[in-house]
Amino acid sequence: MPSLTQRLGLRLPIVLAPMAGGISTPELVAAVGNAGGLGSLGAAYLTPAQIGEAGAAVRRLTQEPFAVNLFAPQSTSEPTAPQVERAVAELAPFHADLGLPPPALPPQTSGDFEAQLDAALEVCPAVLSFTFGRLETRHLEALRVRGILAIGTATGLEEARQLEADGVDSIVLQGGAAVGHRGGWSEDELADTLALTRAAAQSVRVPLIAAGGLMTAADVRAVLDAGASLTQCGTAFLRATEAGTSAPYRAALAAAKPGDTVLTRAFSGRTARGLRNAVTAGIGHPLPYPQQNALTRQMRAAGAAAGRADVLSLWAGEGVAQGREGTAAEILAGLWP
Ligand SMILES: Cc1cc2nc3c(=O)[nH]c(=O)nc-3n(C[C@H](O)[C@H](O)[C@H](O)COP(=O)(O)O)c2cc1C
């Protein structure tokens, strides 16, 4: 059985983390692929048409394999009117400060997963990775018949076992240090990446991809020695030249010190790791995901346009202080000299 690295034709054991919201641009995905890693396009917030365009843009820049990443469908609960009122009231001062009227919840807040998956199948990348849950058998079968490898995300051993039973080709093990949204669907242990990798390597047979807090060549080497086939790095690429990271976000990352990250539901309603700011401190009653994500969208867009890091979701992992600027190829060379 060829290894995952061989099946994907990789020269480096490093996957660029998919970063939805415009960070993992086609330029960044292609640059990582051209340097020998696996680039991942974070497509969860894209419409089906945008997924097709982004896939075509990657193909114009590279002939190397790449991954498209989506959020697995989740059961969502509708918030009550008083919950919406309270969440709106909490955000209103931030809106007033930006010269915006109070936020309003748009009627439809969740995307159409089936249509997104159809668009991804059309792009036909080497890999379809997903987070936040499990895919149905028919989804996995649609990937299999097209020769697309399916990679799920687990935050603990039990989730990894469930994904293996579902028949995925590989599993991203997301340790607690990882940036951005927690990818699991059951109780999150916020596991140490190295310990989780070691434990999973003993109880799961599919190839494993370790993620969370991997910022140096020594970190990468350690998880491979612990049994991972590949590593997935996000924070390490946030300040890459080719990344879509906004100027105020880049400045906040450059100034970050160890211990500056928190787990917060303030921006999206789903727990995610990022830098502390006025919004993480000031929002105590967010709506569930995806409603809170929709409710904060206007604030985040206005904040980015005004260069205001205090109202942006500044996703960052615990390794943020070890991040550096540079091209994707330079960052990869630091992770795998
Ligand atoms: C801005 C941003 C967006 C992210 N979006 C996604 C996503 O859409 N899908 C996903 O599977 N992971 C996403 N992640 C998380 C990464 O896949 C991964 O778990 C994490 O980057 C690994 O930890 P590290 O940052 O410490 O390297 C995102 C990370 C960042 C920084």
Strand partners, 151: 129, 170
Q: Whose CA is nearest to atom 15 of ligand 1?
A: 180
Concatenated DSSP letters for 168-195?
-SEEEEE-TT-SEE---SS------HHH
Ligand 1 atom closest to 131 (CA): 11
Ligand 1, residue 45: give the atom nearest the CA: 8
CA distance 160 to 190: 14
Domain count, the chain: 1
List, for residues 157-182, the tens digit of each pLDDT value.
999 999 999 999 999 999 999 989 99
C-beta 235 within 6 A of ligand 1: yes
CA of 99 to the centre of ligand 1 (A): 31
**Contact (CB, 8 A) for 131 and 71:** yes
Atom 6 in ligand 1: residue holding the nearest Cα = 19
- With a 6 A CB cut-off, is 204 part of the ligand 1 pocket? no
Q: In angstroms, what CA-CA distances link 104 with 92, 125, 169, 215, 265?
A: 10, 37, 41, 39, 18
Structure tokens at 322: 């070890």
Ligand 1: distance of its center to the CA of 183 in Å? 9
Ligand 1 within 6 A of CB of 44 = yes
Considering only CA atoms, which of 326, 295, 237, 191 is closest in space to residue 15?
Answer: 237
How many residues comprise the chain? Answer: 337
Alpha-carbon distances of 49 from 117, 118, 262, rounded to whole Å: 11, 10, 34
Residue whose pair of structure tokens reads 């099946």 in the numeric block: 7
Q: How far apart are CA 246 and CA 168, in angstroms?
A: 34
Ligand 1 centre distance from Cα of residue 236 (Å): 10
Question: For 69, which DSSP code?
Answer: E
CA-to-CA distance for 151 and 95, rounded, in angstroms?
39
Does any ligand 1 atom lie closer than 6 A to the CB of residue 211?
yes
Q: How many helices (H) and strands (E) does the chain have?
A: 13, 11
Q: How far is the CA of 85 from the centre of ligand 1 (A)?
A: 31
The parent domain of residue 162 ranges over 4-335
Q: pLDDT tens across 312-336, in order?
A: 999 999 999 999 999 999 999 999 9
Check if the beta carbon of residue 65 is closer than 8 Å to that of residue 126: yes
The Cα-based distances of 317 to 124, 151, 244, 283 in angstroms read: 30, 21, 17, 21
Distance 238 CA to ligand 1 centre (A): 10
Residue 76 maps to which CATH number?
3.20.20.70
**Contact (Cβ atoms closer than 8 angstroms) between residue 151 and residue 172:** yes
Per-residue pLDDT of the chain (337 residues; tens, 9 = 90+): 779 999 999 999 999 999 999 999 999 999 999 999 999 999 999 999 999 999 999 999 999 999 999 999 988 788 999 999 999 999 999 999 999 999 999 887 667 999 999 999 999 999 999 999 999 999 999 999 999 999 999 999 999 999 999 999 999 999 999 989 999 999 888 999 999 999 999 999 999 999 999 999 999 999 999 999 999 999 999 999 999 999 999 999 999 999 999 999 999 999 999 999 999 999 999 999 999 999 999 999 999 999 999 999 999 999 999 999 999 999 999 999 9
- Best of 181, 239, 271 for a ligand 1 pocket test (most atoms within 8 Å of beta carbon): 181
Q: How much distance in Å is there from the Cα of 234 to the middle of ligand 1?
A: 5
Pocket test for ligand 1, best of 14, 19, 197 (most atoms within 8 A of CB): 19
Separation between Cα atoms, residue 191 and residue 46, nearest integer Å: 30
Distance 232 CA to ligand 1 centre (A): 9
